[in-house]
Structure 1
């Protein structure tokens, strides 16, 4: 016996309703799973996989400053000599280049013009021992020194040779240009 047309239609409608319910249920589950996956990806995607080095600590600050001060003592009585880099005479960029290479194994460019392009810009209020500080004093195109701490920096003065000065001295404060961080 063949099913009547009404039974076929009723069966089709029931199957369709079951299909729609199953599809809605499936879509609900898919949406829930997708939402969970997207949330997971957003949370883990925002977490950095970069492993930074150790935090800058007071101990590192003291070690760097101490190393710099000991090295500067070795440069005592070294006169200013434009274009030179040795104990018989040095200019500001030669002094900075020599100290960085000896203490940290970092080879900096020879001249101030190129040294100012190295490293990361750092605010004057956030200077750390070893940061390079640049000036544009009167009658000199550019000048560079190495920050020590508490407002002091080492550099080569045309009058005093290798010396330590204060960044808040009116002469240096007025001619301050920028500062760069090379060390981590």
Structure 2
């Protein structure tokens, strides 16, 4: 009788440990922390007006994905892919109504052309524009609203 009770207890404990070890942890949603918008804006102000240059990665000129990659590396100490297409596959999608400072926002600006920026808050985002270089724009602008493709959270 004692052996049977001990065996049942041991089996119960083993199963409980196995079930807890195999349980799925809830996904922790990335949340903006205070100061994100300020840090992004400070980074933007240092680069504001830097010309757009396809394939460029420095102060002589840079493209949109390089600006976003550099911003993420400096502001968030987080590496991002180099191209807009690769960046558009990182993290997970968020709805426009759920945007937080630091989220990546993507646009379809042509038949195969893609563009990326970083959400600043208050419907504003920063990016490297082909026409004016590093700038701040509004998602309320007809052009950007119509071209919006997706938003992603990578942290």
Classify the TM-score, shorter chain. Answer: 0.7 to 0.9
Aligned pair partner of 2:70 in 87, 90, 98: 98
Q: 1:51: Cα distance to partner? A: 8.1
Where 2:35 maps in the other structure, the secondary structure is helix
Structure 1 stretches lacking a partner, 5+ long? 1-36
RMSD: 2.7
TM-score, scaled relative to structure 1? 0.68
* Structure with bigger RCO (C-alpha 8 Å, 6+ apart): 2
Q: Call closer, same or farther: CA 1:79–1:139 in 2, change over 3 Å.
A: farther
TM-score, scaled relative to structure 2? 0.80
Q: 1:120: Cα distance to partner? A: 0.9
Matched, 1:163 2:141: no
Structure having the larger proportion of residues in strand: 2
Q: Call closer, same or farther: CA 1:49–1:136 in 2, change over 3 Å.
A: closer
Separation in structure 2 between the aligned mates of residue 163 and residue 98 of structure 1, nearest angstrom: 15
Q: 1:82: Cα distance to partner? A: 0.4
Residue in structure 2 matched with residue 147 of structure 1 by the alignment: 119
Residue correspondence of structure 1 range 40-119 to structure 2 within 5 A:
50=25, 56=31, 60=33, 62-119=34-91
Q: 1:87: Cα distance to partner? A: 1.1
Separation in structure 1 between the aligned mates of residue 24 and residue 82 of structure 2, nearest angstrom: 36
Aligned pair partner of 2:110 in 116, 128, 138: 138
Residue in structure 2 matched with residue 180 of structure 1 by the alignment: 152
Separation in structure 2 between the aligned mates of residue 94 and residue 149 of structure 1, nearest angstrom: 21
Structure 2 stretches lacking a partner, 5+ long? 1-11
Structure having the larger proportion of residues in helix: 1
| Equivalent pairs, count | 140
Residue in structure 2 matched with residue 27 of structure 1 by the alignment: none
